[in-house]
Structure formats: structure tokens, C-alpha cells
Amino acid sequence: MMAGAPMGNTNREIYTLEVALDLFEKAKDILVSDASIVTETELMVKCKYALSLPMSSYQYLRDEKFPIELGDHKKEINSILESRVMKCKEMYPGIAAMTLKNKHRWKDQHDVKVGMDEETLSTILNALPEQDRIAVKAALLKHVK
């Protein structure tokens, strides 16, 4: 039994740029109209049945055939999905942290210089709101003495 399509298969070449743009516009419409969709896989399954667009063709068009032309659609779809994931009440905090780390290079700890000079400390403190500045100064003085 053969896995996948044979070399040189052109079955997916029926999709022109115009057709691909139309399909991805319809995919966005499906996404916007169905708030229960929170992953791209769910969206691809819906497109498979609603648009007769196989999941492998969805991925091929998006990632290989028209990555630049469909880039804006991909970004918009990912933004909608990401906002839904972040708002999901049943989501574990770990998933939210993982999403922030993977997509936005977020870190859950900050690199702080040990023994920073007064000028750097003053710059940091001056950037804080007044109430926070007072609390931070009090905490620092407590540890210095």
C-alpha cells in the first residue's frame, strides 16, 4: 500500500490564487460565525465539509503554494483563534502561558542584573507609578539594612 500521493501528482493544482483567496475568505467567515472554533484543526474540519476543502489542501495552499498571498488571511485567522483561546474560561493557566511563550517570546521570569548601579535603579524606579515606586523603595530599604 502506498502512503500519500505519488511523485508529480498535480491533483491540488486545480486551486488558482483567486480560488484560494476565495476559499480562505470563506474560511474566515466560518470562523467568525462559529465562536466554538478555538483551533485551526477545528476550522480545517469545518472547511472540509462546508467548502469541500480537504485538510491537506488547506495546509498546502496556506504553507506551500501561496504562503505570501495568503499570509494576511493566516495572520487574521491565527489572531482570532488565539484571542478565543486566551478568553476560554475552561483553559488551564499553563496553556495560556505556553501560548504567550511560543507566540510572543514571553518569559515568566525577568533577567535582572545583580548589583545594579544607582542610575539604572533610579531609571527603573522613575518609570513606575508613584504608589509602586514608594512600595519598591520601602522593600529595597528593608533588604539593604
Q: What is the pLDDT of residues 70-100, one digit of tens each?
A: 999 999 998 888 888 777 666 666 666 776 6
* Contact residues for 53 (Cβ-Cβ < 8 A; gap 6+): 23, 27, 47
Percent of the chain with pLDDT over 90: 28
Amino acid at 33: S
142 grid coordinates: 528593608
* DSSP, res 77: H
The pTM of the full predicted model, rounded to 2 decimals, is: 0.57
Q: What is the pLDDT of residues 23-63, one digit of tens each?
A: 999 999 999 999 888 888 899 999 999 999 999 889 999 99
Are the C-beta atoms of residues 43 and 37 closer than 8 Å to each other? yes
67 grid coordinates: 504562503
* DSSP, res 92: -
DSSP output for 1-27:
---SPPTT--GGGG--HHHHHHHHHHH
For the chain, the structural domain boundaries read 11-104, 112-145
Can you tell me whether residue 88 is helix, strand or coil? coil
Q: What is the pLDDT of residues 126-135, one digit of tens each?
A: 777 777 777 7
